Amino acid sequence: MERNAKIERKTKETCVSVSLSLDGGSIELNTGIGFFDHMLHAFAFYAGIGLTVNAVGDLQVDGHHTVEDIGLTIGEALRGAFGDKTGIRRFASAYVPMDEALLFAALDVSGRPYLVFDAPMPQERCGEYDTCLTVEFMRALANSAGLTLHLKEMYGQNAHHITEGLFKALGLALKDAKRVEGSGVTSTKGLL
């Protein structure tokens, strides 16, 4: 069973195309925001997914619309690639240490979107990336993919380390949750 999806999203503010494979592949990112490309690469690498993102957004305003719309589009691609979720492990979590910071992610590929985000950012920017956009990306991703997602900064002092640790923890949790372990749907209800 192929677990792939290609999604395009066009608005007056952005044009985003995403190609995603849950079972691996190349990682090619062009968002116009260097630090965000770095974060998406870390996420895809540790998730073990193939991910291509091309985005053109109104970066002359700021990065908000671009980051949020990429989150929505990757989320929609994840939802499509998971299909009916037959056989997946579904639940997963991961801790990631990044120097002085320790980050945690837990997720459920439930079809019921919900985000809990507890990660204060001690600095406002990492390069051209506003650190307040991390929660916007995660919210858009969780809502569009249908994930229950909890992200927590246990502690940390450097926004780069905190943000990167969150993206890596998300990737590691997704890698575990997408693993096919059976032939049925992992739910006592029989449906996700």
Instruction: Give the three-state DSSP class for 168.
Output: helix
11-37 burial code (b ≥16 CB/10 A, e <16): eeebebbbbbbbeebebebebbbebbb
Burial class (CB in 10 A: 0-12, 13-18, 19+), 97: middle
* 19, 77 Cβ separation under 8 angstroms: yes
What residue ranges define each of the domains in the chain, with the CATH number in brackets?
A: 4-177 (3.30.230.40)
The pTM (predicted TM-score) of the whole model is 0.96
Tokens of 68: 């949020």
Query: pLDDT tens digits for the chain (192 residues)?
Result: 789 999 999 999 999 999 999 999 999 999 999 999 999 999 999 999 999 999 999 999 999 999 999 999 999 999 999 999 999 999 999 999 999 999 999 999 999 999 999 999 999 999 999 999 999 999 999 999 999 999 999 999 999 999 999 999 999 999 999 999 988 776 767 767
